Amino acid sequence: MKRLWFALTAAVVLTTWAVPAFAQWGEETSGNNLRVRIGAFFPSKSISRNEANTWFAAGVDYVLKRDVAISEGYAADMGLSVDYYGSGEVYNVPVLLNYWGKVGSGLSYTAGVGVGFSKRPVSGDTKTGFAYSIGVGYDFTIGQAGGTQLFLDVRYNGLTGTDSEHNGFAVYLGARF
C-alpha cells in the first residue's frame, strides 16, 4: 500500500512539474482539459485472471497542448494521464505521456508511453516498468452544443518487467470537463 501512495505522489509531483513547463510551450489550452474515466480491465494472462476475470479501472487525463497536429478533419492533442487498474492487492498505476488523435466523425485514438508502478499476483512483489497504452474511442455529446461531453474508449494496456501479468484490454466510459 505504501508503494501505491508513493506512485500516486510521484504522479502528482510529475504533473505539477510538467504542467507549468508545457504552459510556456505554444498557446495555452482552453476548456475540456480534464478527462475522467472509469471502467473495467480484462487481464490477458491466466495467472492474473486467477485474481479476478475483471479488474476495476479508472483514469484521469490532462491535456497539456492542444492541436499539436491539424489537418482537414483531423486534430491531435498531447497530455498526461494517471491510471489505476487492479483487483484486491494486485494493481498497476501507469503514468503516461499521451497523444490523442481525433477524426471529425467522433472517432479518436490514443497512444501513450511512460512508467508503471505495479504489484504482481501470486509473488506479491512490487515492480516498476515501461508502461504503454494504445486504443480507439468514440466521442459524443449529450444535450445541445457545449453539453456534457462523454467518450467511450477501448485500450490495450501493457507493462514490461512483470511477465505480461498486467497486460490486457480495458473499456472506459468517461467525461470531459
Query: What pLDDT was estimated at residue 22?
Result: 41
What does pTM read for this prediction?
Answer: 0.79
Contact indicator for 55, 172 with CB cutoff of 8 Å: no
Amino acid 148: pLDDT:
62
Q: Does domain 2-176 have CATH number 3.40.50.920?
A: no
Total residue length of the chain? 177
Residue numbers in the chain where pLDDT is lower than 70 = 1-31, 142-148
Q: Where are the domains of the chain?
A: 2-176
For the stretch 87-117, pLDDT in tens is 999 999 999 999 999 997 889 999 999 999 9
pLDDT of residue 146: 57
* Whole-angstrom distance, CA of residue 18 vs CA of residue 96: 12
